[in-house]
């Protein structure tokens, strides 16, 4: 099974290295396919110039600064070009990117993008990407500005060595904290609303090609079966989706550390985020997860293995 998943990842990764096409609609369709239609990747289509050239501005919500995109990208493209003498003719579509970089955009740093690999590298780092219909190249404009306020040190899962960030009560901030650690377009995000009254946003994140598709579908089905008035904390979700087995051990793992959630995603688990709570859920949960700490990932393998063995021995003696 592990070998088959590695092959899936290699096949998915090779698709990103294909060059951009001259057709804007084809590029946007391909981007939605690669990202799985992730709801935090925003696509804004506009028309500029005297010839009404069609273009799209893409950015990742939570990682990009919306003020920079509005004041220095959208305003420059939609207003500045119309007020100047720049005329982007149909015959010059292939050079539109160069014209925009030289005469229109007022951001400090811009780069040319020619393939999907480079596009997602900028997009998932917080930059805005501009694609023009008729041009096989795009522009990556610097607009990084993810939210840092409210991100504090974990209160329950503290470590001596490792990151000191914890999840917050804002869903988009939490997804951005995970995106900062895993900058891959195959980290897919699906958002649904649960609760007839509260309509709480609940998101599931997983890495396409690593997570088991049967488990991902099982998570979707169990979330869709939830019929309740309100969801106020992830504990509601945990109780409603867990297996109804007679066991004193939890069947759903929870964490308030973004690095622990990222490690779970890389191991093939599915992360469930609930708006309004700093604790996220990871499924499936294994007994070994409750006898390991986040510091185990940052220490030498021999020390980490010894400490884990001591934990098992201590548990046996305690019982």
Task: Summarize the confidence of residues 108-119 as an average pLDDT.
Answer: 86
Task: Summarize the confidence of residues 192-200 as an average pLDDT.
Answer: 88
- What global pTM score does this model have? 0.74
Q: What pLDDT was estimated at residue 142? A: 85
pLDDT tens digits, 122-139 = 998 888 999 988 888 888
Annotated domain spans of the chain:
17-141, 171-285
Mean pLDDT of the chain: 81
pLDDT tens digits, 67-98 = 888 888 887 777 655 555 455 554 455 566 66
Per-residue tokens: 312: 């098992």
CA separation (Å) from 203 to 10, 47, 67, 214, 282? 26, 32, 25, 18, 12
pLDDT tens digits, 255-312 = 888 988 998 999 999 999 998 889 999 998 887 777 777 777 777 888 878 888 888 8
Q: N- to C-terminal Cα distance for the chain? A: 35
Task: Summarize the confidence of residues 241-254 as an average pLDDT.
Answer: 81
Closest among 284, 289, 117 to 211, alpha carbons compared? 284
């Amino acid at each position: 099974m592990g070998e088959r998943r590695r092959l899936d990842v290699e096949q998915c990764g090779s698709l990103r290295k294909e060059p951009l096409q001259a057709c804007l609609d084809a590029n946007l369709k391909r981007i939605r396919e690669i990202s799985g239609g992730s709801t935090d990747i925003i696509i804004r289509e506009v028309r500029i110039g005297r010839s009404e050239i069609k273009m799209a501005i893409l950015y990742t919500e939570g990682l990009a600064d919306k003020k920079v995109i509005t004041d220095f990208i959208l305003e420059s493209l939609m207003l500045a070009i119309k007020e100047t003498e720049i005329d982007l003719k149909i015959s010059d579509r292939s050079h539109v990117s160069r014209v925009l970089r030289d005469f229109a955009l007022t951001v400090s740093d811009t780069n040319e993008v020619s393939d999907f690999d480079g596009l997602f590298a900028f997009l998932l780092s917080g930059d805005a990407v501009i694609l023009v219909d008729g041009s096989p190249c795009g522009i990556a404009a610097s607009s990084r500005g993810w939210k840092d306020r409210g991100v504090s040190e974990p209160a329950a899962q503290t470590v001596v060595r490792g990151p000191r960030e914890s999840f917050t009560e804002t869903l988009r901030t939490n997804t951005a904290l995970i995106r900062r650690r895993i900058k891959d377009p195959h980290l897919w995000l699906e958002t649904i609303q649960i609760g007839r009254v509260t309509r709480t946003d609940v998101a599931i994140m997983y890495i396409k090609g690593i997570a088991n598709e049967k488990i991902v579908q099982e998570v979707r089905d169990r979330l869709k079966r939830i019929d309740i008035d309100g969801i106020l904390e992830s504990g509601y979700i945990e109780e409603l989706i867990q297996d109804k087995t007679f066991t004193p051990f939890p069947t759903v793992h929870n964490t308030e550390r973004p690095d622990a959630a990222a490690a779970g995603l890389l191991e093939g688990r599915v992360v469930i985020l609930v708006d309004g709570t700093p604790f996220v859920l990871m499924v499936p949960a294994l007994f070994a997860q409750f006898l390991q700490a986040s510091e185990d990932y940052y220490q030498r393998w021999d020390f980490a293995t010894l400490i884990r063995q001591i934990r098992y021995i201590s548990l046996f003696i305690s019982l």
